[in-house]
Copies of this chain bind each other. A is one copy, B any other.
Amino acid sequence: MNKNMYHFIKEKANQYHQETIAIRRDIHQYAERGWLEMRTACFIASYLEKLGYEVFVGEEIMKKESRMGLPSQAILQSHYQRAKVEGANSFYLEKVKEGMTGVAGILRNGEGPIIALRFDIDALGIIEDNNETHFPYQNHFESCHKGAMHACGHDGHTAIGLTTAKILMDIKEKMHGTIKLIFQPAEEGVRGAKCICESGFLDDVDYIYAAHIMPQSSNYDLYFGMNESFATTKLDVTYHGVSTHAAESPQFGKNALLSAANCILNLHSIPRNSDGQTRVNVGVVHAGTGRNVIPETAKLEIEVRGVTTELNRYMEMYARDIINASALMHDTVVEIKEMGKAYALKCDEDFMNEIRYLCQQNLTDLKLPKKNLSPLGGSDDFSYMMEYVQSHGGKATYMKLLTKVKASPHNTAFDFDEEVLNKGPRIMASIAYSLLK
């Protein structure tokens, strides 16, 4: 009977495959960056509403002031106009217009565990390849928003999420408990998870899981968890000095750029740590207004990382000392803004084993690896949700959905094999069923 149900889920995933592909391509074409996923969010909300979900948008699942790395009002405003032009549902658009672009759907059927699935929905700030060999270009669904591109598979995640929603609604009566499907904005830059956690929406969750589309190096279909991720903190640092004419009276200036140069060099000289790998980068610097003027301001985009949350904390604390000391060095004033934060991933061993058992028993055509974990390498702020649910007594894991890809993630020519849009919803829905059956 269970067997039959897993088989039913598989058939539904097959049946919906073309629609899933269509959704993915639509989302891909209208790629929107973090906090600007206005058309995307409205699309999701309308879709979930039509399926019969209770829909939660914007402030209903996000704490406004906990968002990090928000774009300017002018940018928010112009994207709002664009989303309107592009036909976003006007009811939902009003809810998301201030960059409140999170959406969730809830499905309840009596008593039982409360589980959450997370799908991230934002694009990257990349200009998409328009080469004949690029699949989205060939098939006319390349991004029509220049400078925004789904080069990390979140278009796929969104489509998988919506089809998962559809399948779960199909089998609603067979499950006992509550399912929260979370469509998270602004994962790039690890900015969006925090505000959902701090809204309280996850407080009662017993299980949370997510999956990321990843390049298939062996021929496995998935890993049950990830490790070797980086905890990370993103900081925007601005030095404010005093400008003056560089020839007439340099002594009356306070040189923000000298503070910045010290900051850059010294951040890179934070001692290596024998407890594990750490990272630091100053990725962007803008300073000064004219060649013959002592620079009044210097703005730096900084990130630190560590393979454990503790190592990241070591880096962040040391970096903050350097940032502050660099201001004192040339008598400037410094402003530090936290723009993003993620923890290191800690997947629950027994939850991964449970999913493994499910797959081995019921999804027998999948090719499974021997070990649960595969390294992530980078950072993901789903770690923030995991940490939150775990600290409230729940279980969490973050899986890898493996498929063939063109180019590597974050590359202008990135693309993935759409077969993953079939197995993705199937796996996500099967786990939900398994937890609530």
Instruction: Using CB atoms and an 8 Å cutoff, list the residues of chain A in contact with chain B.
Output: 125, 189, 230, 232, 234, 245-251, 253, 255, 257-258, 260-262, 264-266, 268-269, 271-275, 277-295, 298, 301-303, 305, 314, 318, 321-322, 324-326, 328-331, 339, 377-379, 410
Contacts and interface: CB of A to CB of B under 8 A. Distances in A.
A190 to B, nearest CB: 10
Nearest to A303: B291
A248 B378 CA distance: 6
A261 to B, nearest CB: 4
A300 to B, nearest CB: 9
Given A283-B288, A303-B246, A265 B261 contact: yes
Given A248-B378, A250-B272, A322 B329 contact: yes
Task: Please give me the 9 A-B residue pairs with the lowest Cβ-Cβ distance, nearest first.
Answer: A268-B269, A246-B281, A325-B328, A325-B329, A283-B291, A261-B264, A284-B288, A250-B271, A291-B301
A324 B330 CA distance: 11
Given A249-B274, A258-B268, A321-B331, A291 B295 contact: no
A303 B295 contact: no
A328 B265 CA distance: 15
Contacts of A281: 246-247, 250, 291-294
Contacts of A294: 271, 281, 283
Nearest to A264: B261
Contacts of A279: 246-247, 250, 272
Interface centre among A230, A272, A290, A321 (most CB of B within 10 A): A272
A321 B314 contact: no
Interface centre among A249, A255, A266, A280 (most CB of B within 10 A): A266
Contacts of A234: 291
A283 B262 CA distance: 16
Given A248-B377, A282-B257, A331-B321, A288 B271 contact: no
20 contacts: A232-B247, A245-B410, A247-B378, A248-B274, A257-B264, A258-B268, A260-B285, A261-B261, A262-B262, A265-B265, A265-B266, A283-B288, A283-B294, A283-B295, A284-B288, A285-B285, A288-B301, A321-B329, A321-B331, A328-B328
Given A247-B379, A258-B264, A321-B328, A285 B287 contact: yes
Contacts of A230: 247
Contacts of A293: 281, 283
Given A251-B314, A260-B264, A284-B291, 11 more contacts: A247-B279, A247-B305, A248-B378, A261-B261, A262-B262, A265-B269, A269-B269, A277-B277, A282-B295, A285-B287, A291-B302
A278 B247 CA distance: 8
A199 to B, nearest CB: 25
Nearest to A410: B245
A314 B250 CA distance: 12
A284 B295 contact: yes
A284 B287 contact: yes
Contacts of A262: 261-262, 265-266, 329
A347 B322 CA distance: 41
A261 B260 CA distance: 8
A270 to B, nearest CB: 8
A266 B329 CA distance: 8
Contacts of A410: 245
A278 B283 contact: no
Nearest to A331: B321
B272 A283 contact: no
A400 B265 CA distance: 40
A70 to B, nearest CB: 15
Nearest to A267: B269
